[in-house]
């Protein structure tokens, strides 16, 4: 099996170069990938900041290119650390912007949708027992991060399953909802390279964040249920190299996916045990599992808990009790 370093070298030999762009977020740097082909392509952009822009320009320069030369920007999903610079890049280069068709409306309406997202998250947190002062504080944090995002005008909508043709390669476009509803991976079957962004990460599990559906409907997504289905499909790909959105290349994706699935099973049983003791809110369960992190990272941990509760509800092991104000879960 390849080492991560050898994987980067092999990808580079195929014209795919990792650019590591700084972000202000806890996750650290984000990986963008330069594909030296026709059109000259960049997969993801990094967040909207002067520092990220400088770094992008410098790292493109190391490969003999500049932002102005870019001809196509591919966006892997709707999160701002991956797409914040897209408008600036387009202004400089006139590049086309490609993304999965179901995300087009959402990407175009960034500001309005971010506002709706915050409202949606606040309601979800309150319904699941997170105290109001915490919810208000987290909304403030979310608002302050918005400046790192941007709207994106997609000029090249992609269909799930279509092959995006560059001169020297074809990238199969595969929808992989879970981490976000717009997560898309790009599969080069000939070279057995998968550009996976945040769908699969080497050292941390991708958070299946609960979101508003892309079609604007009111019902929340079952992020973890969708994510597991997506992971199973990715496991079937005979990939040799998986290029993630953060960290080093993955060279044994099937084993890593199996690990993630085992961890999900374990956490699911733990949550079932907690609910068997007595009915609990999602937030109470998160506090049992993560202590104070359940407050500072309330939405993220709540998403994890609700995801596992969705799985348990689907197995008829757990049911919701709604007192009109908060939702509690009890063993069925
Ligand atoms: Zn993401």
pLDDT tens per residue across span 72-86: 999 999 999 999 999
- Reported confidence tier of residue 215, pLDDT bands at 50, 70, 90: confident
pLDDT attached to residue 58: 98
pLDDT tens column, 20-36: 999 999 899 999 999 99
Which two structure tokens, joined as six digits, stand for 114? 């971010």
3 state DSSP class of 274: helix
The Å distance, Cα 33 to ligand 1 centre, comes to 15
| Cα 92 to ligand 1 centre (Å) | 25
> Which residue is associated with the tokens 């090249």?
156
Burial readout 276-315 (b: 16 or more C-beta within 10 A, e: otherwise): eeebbbbbbbbbbbbeeebbebbbbbbbbbbbbbbbbbee
Is the model more confident about 200 or about 218?
200
Res. 47: pLDDT tops 90: yes
Alpha carbons 77 and 173: distance in angstroms, whole number: 12
**From the CA of 83, how far away is ligand 1's center (Å)?**
10
Q: In the predicted model, what is the mean pLDDT of residues 275-284?
A: 97
pLDDT tens per residue across span 239-249: 999 999 999 99
pLDDT tens track for 153-198: 999 999 999 999 999 999 999 999 999 999 999 999 999 999 999 9
Q: Does an H or E element contain 12, and which?
A: helix 4-13
Sheet architecture: strand order including 72-74: 16-21, 30-35, 41-43, 72-74, 96-100, 156-158
- CB-based contacts of 127, cutoff 8 Å, min separation 6: 326, 327
Residue 276 has pLDDT above 90, yes or no: yes
pLDDT > 90? residue 280 = yes
- What mean pLDDT is predicted for residues 227-233? 98
Banded model confidence at residue 216, pLDDT cuts 50, 70, 90: confident
Burial 160-174 (b: 16+ CB within 10 A, else e): eeeebebeebebbbb
Ligand 1 centroid–CA 332 distance in Å is: 34
Residue 218 is predicted with a pLDDT of: 79
- Count of CB atoms situated within 10 Å of the CB of 68: 12
In terms of phi and psi (left: phi > 0; alpha: psi -120 to 50; beta: otherwise), the region of 181 is: alpha
- Measured CA distances, 190 to 172, 187, 236, 249, 277 (Å): 10, 9, 15, 18, 52
Judged against a pLDDT cut of 90, whether residue 1 lies above it is answered with no
86-133 pLDDT, tens per residue?
A: 999 999 999 999 999 999 999 999 989 889 999 999 999 999 999 999
User: What does the block give as tokens for 64?
Assistant: 């003999």
pLDDT of 152 strictly over 90: yes
- Interval between CA 316 and ligand 1 midpoint (Å): 31
What mean pLDDT value characterizes the chain?
96
CA of 179 to the centre of ligand 1 (A): 7
Q: How far is the CA of 180 from the centre of ligand 1 (A)?
A: 7
User: How close is the Cα of 273 to the center of ligand 1, in Å?
Assistant: 30
Predicted local confidence at residue 306, as pLDDT = 97
Span from the CA of 279 to the centroid of ligand 1 (angstroms): 32
Taking the centre of ligand 1 as the mean of its atom positions, its distance from the CA of residue 77, in whole angstroms, is 7
């Amino acid at each position: 099996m390849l080492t991560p370093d050898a994987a980067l070298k092999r990808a580079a030999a195929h014209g795919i170069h990792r650019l590591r762009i700084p972000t202000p977020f806890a996750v650290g740097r984000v990986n963008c990938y330069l594909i030296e082909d026709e059109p000259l392509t960049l997969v993801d952009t990094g967040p909207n900041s002067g520092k990220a822009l400088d770094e992008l320009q410098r790292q493109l320069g190391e490969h003999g290119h500049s932002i102005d030369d870019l001809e196509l920007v591919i966006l892997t999903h709707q999160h701002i650390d991956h797409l914040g610079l897209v408008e600036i890049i387009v202004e400089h280069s006139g590049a086309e912007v490609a993304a999965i068709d179901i995300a087009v409306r959402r990407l175009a309406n960034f500001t309005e949708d971010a506002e709706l997202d915050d409202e949606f998250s606040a309601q979800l947190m309150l319904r699941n027992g997170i105290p109001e002062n915490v919810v208000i504080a987290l909304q403030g944090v979310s608002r302050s991060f918005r400046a790192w995002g941007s709207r994106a005008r997609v000029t090249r909508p992609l269909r799930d399953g279509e092959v995006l043709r560059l001169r020297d390669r074809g990238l199969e476009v595969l929808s992989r909802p879970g981490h976000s509803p717009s997560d898309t991976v790009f599969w080069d079957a000939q070279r057995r390279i998968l550009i996976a962004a945040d769908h699969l990460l080497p050292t941390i599990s991708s958070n299946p964040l609960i979101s508003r559906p892309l079609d604007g409907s009111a019902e929340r997504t079952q992020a973890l249920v969708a994510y597991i289905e997506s992971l199973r499909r990715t496991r079937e790909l005979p990939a040799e190299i998986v290029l993630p959105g953060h960290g080093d290349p993955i060279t044994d994706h099937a084993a890593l996916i199996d690990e993630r699935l085992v961890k999900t099973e374990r956490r699911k049983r733990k949550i079932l045990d907690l609910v068997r003791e007595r009915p609990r809110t999602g937030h109470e369960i998160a506090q049992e599992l993560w202590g104070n992190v359940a407050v500072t990272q309330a939405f993220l941990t709540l998403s994890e808990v609700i995801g596992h509760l969705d799985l348990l509800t689907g197995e008829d092991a757990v049911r919701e009790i709604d007192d009109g104000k908060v939702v509690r879960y009890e063993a069925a």
